[in-house]
Structure 1
Amino acid sequence: MELRKLLLRAGAIALTASLPLAASAGAETSISVMRTIDTDRYDPHTSTSRATAEVMFMMGDTLVALAPDMKEIRPLLAESWTVSEDGKLYTFKLREDVTFCSGKKLTAADVKATIDRWLALEKGVVKNRAGDVKEIRAVGDYVVEYELEQPYSELLYQMTQHFHTILNVDQVNELGDDFGVKGFDGTGPYCFDNWEPRNQLVMTKHDAYKWGPDFYKNTGPAKLDKVVWKIVPEDNNRVAGIQTNQGDVTQYLPYWSVDQLQANPQISVTSPPYYFWTYYVGFKITRDIVDNIEVRKALNLAVDQKAMAEGPFFGKAAPAYAYTHSGTLDYAADLIDESLFGYDPEKAAAILDADGWKMGDDGFRVKDGKKLELVAYSFSNIWRQVMEALQGDLRKIGVDLKVEVFDATVIWGKLKTQDFDLYTMSYPYVSAGDALNLYFPSANMPTPNRMNWDNAQTDAWLKEGRGALTEADRATAYGKVQKQVHDAVVWIPIVHEPMFVAAGPRLKPVEAHGIYGAGLYKGLSLELK
């Protein structure tokens, strides 16, 4: 305990040197948001990072919004919409009072130009989230026709994500390679002011903003004049900062600090009603040994998810016994056999015994002269502790797991290879279909389908789910995929991560949102006391 106090005191001193005083004279409506990492540029079409998303949601808008229940679609830039009977034509009626930060009026031409730009970009990311676009048409100034080649049952859900942020493409073309670096002209509650990469991004209030999602008490304009996003990589510094007014809000809380902050009457800690971010360990099922489903079953049953939730996550995470959270849209609870996952080392050992893996004198199993030895690639953050625990669990049933840890600058390249048996990953999603369409199509090998799951039936069911014209048909198709991939035990689900947003003494409690892990979402609930 004394060591923790010393660390926090040291953190406060260090933070004082790195952050401006948020409550200095003349800056009563300026706050600092503390986060851990930055992005390479603020362009929704070239970055999938949370660092991009959390800023993009505040500087820009999408056609529609996702309610805090993570299921209901609400109006945003589009005040209404219709969908044709064949599911191929979406017609959006835009609000007529929206302006970009530059003062330019938003029209249907901006929506068309934004989607066209995304699809044309050679380095454009996750274009599948736009659907199989046939043509985007501007019908007059305030009607957009979004026509697809094939129906896409989750288009509206994907349109709530930051990839679908509507841009002032005139500014994009004017800035060229400097777009998202030296400027960003959006329609959001806050406007781009300046950015010092890996240090801070400053945004200022968009005075004209009044079209925020209707689930906010305040739909605009924002209550603050300025928001400064600061990069504060050290856990102790962020915890100290939120208690000493050196930073005003953060969702990047080490789990050991949550109880301490909740007990502080000057600090408010809030969570979104629903939040979907799951940690899992995946098997590359084309590799020797883990191509054996009996081995995968045994390894799953050897892992103590509850102990991991209590240990590295300090009891704040929920043990995961399925690939997605049970609260997600189209979660197939009646089809998923959760008994495949969960701690049962005796059953795990019996499975290996029956499959011919005999325990050797050195405490490791052998079959046909081959040792049960596996290689895992892992991140260097909280995953280090998780993998140490997993390594110990597997050791108990005679599995020798070698864990190779890499930092964020290296691991993504490593994960594109075929040189590992297991890998670690955590990911956000808005629905079961969102998760399944990311990881399980054969076309997504070798990344993000790092398991090399290559199954024609899966591809057919995913296509059926994407093209479904009713919610029931979509849920049925995705339910079949969930049962199939769960029965194949291609992942070891670890935990469903929680989100905590801590607001310091100067701020009112924040209405946290679970979308894409960006807890502040629009930032419209950020308000001084």
Structure 2
Amino acid sequence: MTDQRPFPGIAFRLAGFASAAAIACASAAAAQDTGTVTIGRTSDADRYDPQRSSALAAAEVLYMIGDTLVTLSSDLKTVEPALAESWDISEDGLTYTFHLKEGVTFCDGKAFTAQDVVGSMERWLTPDGPYVSTWKAGTVDSITAPDDMTVVYKLKAPSSGLLYQMAQFNFIIIDPEQAESLGDDFGVTAFNGTGPFCFESWTPNDSVVLSAHEGYSWGSPALGNTGPAKVDRVVWKIVPEEATLAASLQAGEIDASYSLPAWSIAQFDADPSVTLLQPEAAFRTHYLGMKVTRDFMQDIRVREAVSHAIDQSAIAEAIFFGTVEPTESYYAKEALDYDPSIDTAPFAYDPAKTETLLTEAGFTKGDDGFWQKDGTPLTLTYYGFNTSREQAETVQGDLRKAGIELNVELYDSTAIWAKLREQTYDLYQMDYPYLNAGDALNLYFSSASVPSPNRMMWEDEETDRLLEAGNSAVNAEARAEAFMALGKHLHEAILWKPLLLEKPTIAIGPRLVPFEPAGISGAAFGTGLNLELQ
């Protein structure tokens, strides 16, 4: 159910917000058009093509203008019908037969058929094409349409997570004829979808305007409203400055946002005209990865010592003002196939254990209070994003207090990937979204993913064996058994220091009726079918 809880742990550090709000309120807020909902966010996408973008900004719009074959329940554990009203899976797990809903149309009135599914997938899986995240589709043998309402999706190897991945926005069905006609302009100048809203216009770095899809009635019952949309238009408005975005919500210039700075949430929590919402389930974990091939980090005792020295609760409170939860596991305990028997004790903040472990590993403390071994100081190198400077400084401070020197190197989002390829780090900071345990484990831990995104350089036969067992499982029990065993195995190896578990927090103004946010792909407004004006 929708979480409308307060955030009592948030400190009031709102001077910047107050000044921005005063500026916004100095002039009367522009009256919102009747039937129009304006959503504020800080960044735009490069294009609105589900097969060529991995950006959250793209997903936010694409879920409103397109549909997937299946979706997920609000707890992200049960696959539900969407464009496919039902499906059958062969006993060997290689053939999925989807039976499509009748009466579905694109925004231009064209009838949706199985050929559109086949054309969408063929475009996406074009060898050497400019397309992203194709691994989510599994190892495809063929995708065919024996008739207008049936799609047969054949794999070369079982993929236990396929249906869960099919709920992600990369699987949104496009109009293949339009995509071919527009070429690189597809998703830029136009997008003809089957979603509850239609793509009306896009002014890059300013706004995307969507209008209700007339006659839409095929939304998933599991997600609430099946259609049509309850509002006439949705405007996604770009407001680059966080303080200005927060002020715009307070002034009534936008109706909702979940791009708000953490420091503003306390103000909105105390404002009776604003309601805070969170999805039942939405998984994003912040973590520190440890490169196990580095001299010091090869020793699991050093990795655990580093883990115990870092206080994730302090990071949650001081930097995120209580809007995130400190965590001691690689992925959320609420996620499908998480093993509750996993020992998370190595990831708890416990500086005394840091000292014990380093002593056991042969380190001694010098007169300066820092650890060394055989005359070599225990000095580590940390790579992170410059947008996470406060986290880096907190980690550095915690390790220094524990007697470990940390050299911090921060880079912007274009430079850090090249620096990581240089392989000269001991620790690196990341955060990532995922659907379930299998999704999380496949993203990072396979030997085939070295050196990226397996930046821990973890090459382990047991990991690969359990990944293969989980991925090739043909029933839920076998899948869960493999991924739960793998989760336990990887936590025992201490490859990460888990830091924070983040859910999007939506703030809505008085014009909107409270609703249950979505959790898939981080796009909390989902299809937009639950948006309703008071």
Q: What TM-score results when the alignment is normalised by the length of structure 2?
A: 0.94
Shift of 1:323: 0.2
Which residue is equivalent to 2:92? 86
- Distance (Å, rounded) in 2 between the aligned partners of 1:3 and 1:467: 50
- Distance (Å, rounded) in 1 between the aligned partners of 2:82 and 2:68: 7
Map 1:81-160 onto structure 2 (within 5 A): 81-120=87-126, 122-160=129-167
Q: 1:491 to 1:6 in 2, by over 3 A?
A: closer
- Distance (Å, rounded) in 2 between the aligned partners of 1:157 and 1:51: 21
Q: Is the 8 A contact 1:8 1:239 kept in 2?
A: no
| Counterpart residue identity of residue 435, structure 2 | V
Q: Is the 8 A contact 1:15 1:246 kept in 2?
A: no
- Distance (Å, rounded) in 2 between the aligned partners of 1:373 and 1:201: 48
SS in 2 for 1:409: coil
- Distance (Å, rounded) in 2 between the aligned partners of 1:352 and 1:5: 43
List per-residue Cα deviations over 1:444-501 (Å, max 9, x = no partner).
1222111111112211211110110121111111122111211111100001113211
Q: How many pairs are equivalent?
A: 523
Which residue is equivalent to 2:4? none
Q: Is the 8 A contact 1:268 1:508 kept in 2?
A: no
Gaps of 5+ in 2: 1-10
Shift of 1:21: 5.8
Which residue is equivalent to 1:4? 14
2:73 is matched with which residue: 67, 79, 102?
A: 67
- Distance (Å, rounded) in 1 between the aligned partners of 2:122 and 2:400: 53
| Counterpart residue identity of residue 270, structure 2 | A
1:394 is matched with which residue: 395, 399, 415?
A: 399
- Distance (Å, rounded) in 2 between the aligned partners of 1:226 and 1:156: 31
| Counterpart residue identity of residue 319, structure 2 | P
| Counterpart residue identity of residue 97, structure 1 | G
Map 1:503-522 onto structure 2 (within 5 A): 503-522=508-527
Which residue is equivalent to 1:23? 31
Which residue is equivalent to 1:350? 356
2:256 is matched with which residue: 232, 246, 249?
A: 249
Q: Is the 8 A contact 2:74 2:223 kept in 1?
A: no
- Distance (Å, rounded) in 1 between the aligned partners of 2:13 and 2:479: 53
- Distance (Å, rounded) in 2 between the aligned partners of 1:243 and 1:291: 51
Map 1:345-494 onto structure 2 (within 5 A): 345-381=351-387, 383-494=388-499
Which residue is equivalent to 2:8? none
2:180 is matched with which residue: 144, 162, 173?
A: 173
Q: 1:435 to 1:2 in 2, by over 3 A?
A: closer
- Distance (Å, rounded) in 1 between the aligned partners of 2:371 and 2:169: 48
Shift of 1:416: 3.5
Gaps of 5+ in 1: none
Q: 1:75 to 1:373 in 2, by over 3 A?
A: same
Shift of 1:183: 1.3
- Distance (Å, rounded) in 2 between the aligned partners of 1:102 and 1:285: 54
Q: 1:38 to 1:346 in 2, by over 3 A?
A: same
Q: Is the 8 A contact 1:22 1:247 kept in 2?
A: no
2:40 is matched with which residue: 34, 40, 44?
A: 34
- Distance (Å, rounded) in 2 between the aligned partners of 1:170 and 1:16: 49
Q: 1:388 to 1:125 in 2, by over 3 A?
A: same
SS in 2 for 1:349: helix
Shift of 1:15: 9.2
Identify the range of structure 1 (449-458 vs 405-414) with the bigger mean alpha-carbon deviation.
Answer: 405-414
Shift of 1:139: 1.3
- Distance (Å, rounded) in 2 between the aligned partners of 1:285 and 1:159: 34
Shift of 1:10: 2.5
List per-residue Cα deviations over 1:283-309 (Å, max 9, x = no partner).
122222112211101000111112222
**1:219 partnered with 2:231:** no
Q: Is the 8 A contact 2:343 2:492 kept in 1?
A: yes
SS in 1 for 2:68: coil
- Distance (Å, rounded) in 1 between the aligned partners of 2:420 and 2:521: 22
SS in 2 for 1:472: helix
- Distance (Å, rounded) in 2 between the aligned partners of 1:496 and 1:77: 32
Q: 1:12 to 1:408 in 2, by over 3 A?
A: farther
Q: Is the 8 A contact 2:12 2:267 kept in 1?
A: no
Which residue is equivalent to 2:23? 13
Which residue is equivalent to 2:314? 307
SS in 2 for 1:208: coil
SS in 2 for 1:347: helix
- Distance (Å, rounded) in 2 between the aligned partners of 1:62 and 1:15: 41
SS in 2 for 1:259: helix
SS in 1 for 2:115: helix
- Distance (Å, rounded) in 2 between the aligned partners of 1:15 and 1:103: 43
Percent identical among aligned pairs is 46
Q: Is the 8 A contact 1:378 1:411 kept in 2?
A: yes
Q: 1:2 to 1:363 in 2, by over 3 A?
A: closer
**1:49 partnered with 2:55:** yes
Q: Is the 8 A contact 1:89 1:148 kept in 2?
A: yes
- Distance (Å, rounded) in 1 between the aligned partners of 2:450 and 2:515: 40
- Distance (Å, rounded) in 1 between the aligned partners of 2:48 and 2:25: 25
- Distance (Å, rounded) in 2 between the aligned partners of 1:326 and 1:30: 38
| Counterpart residue identity of residue 505, structure 1 | P
List per-residue Cα deviations over 1:93-143 (Å, max 9, x = no partner).
001111111221110001011111111152322212101111001011000
- Distance (Å, rounded) in 2 between the aligned partners of 1:415 and 1:15: 45
Q: 1:393 to 1:412 in 2, by over 3 A?
A: same
Q: 1:266 to 1:139 in 2, by over 3 A?
A: same
SS in 2 for 1:415: helix
| Counterpart residue identity of residue 70, structure 1 | L
Shift of 1:22: 5.8
| Counterpart residue identity of residue 105, structure 1 | A
- Distance (Å, rounded) in 1 between the aligned partners of 2:118 and 2:380: 49
List per-residue Cα deviations over 1:383-413 (Å, max 9, x = no partner).
2222211111111121111111222232233
**1:292 partnered with 2:299:** yes
Q: Is the 8 A contact 1:190 1:204 kept in 2?
A: yes
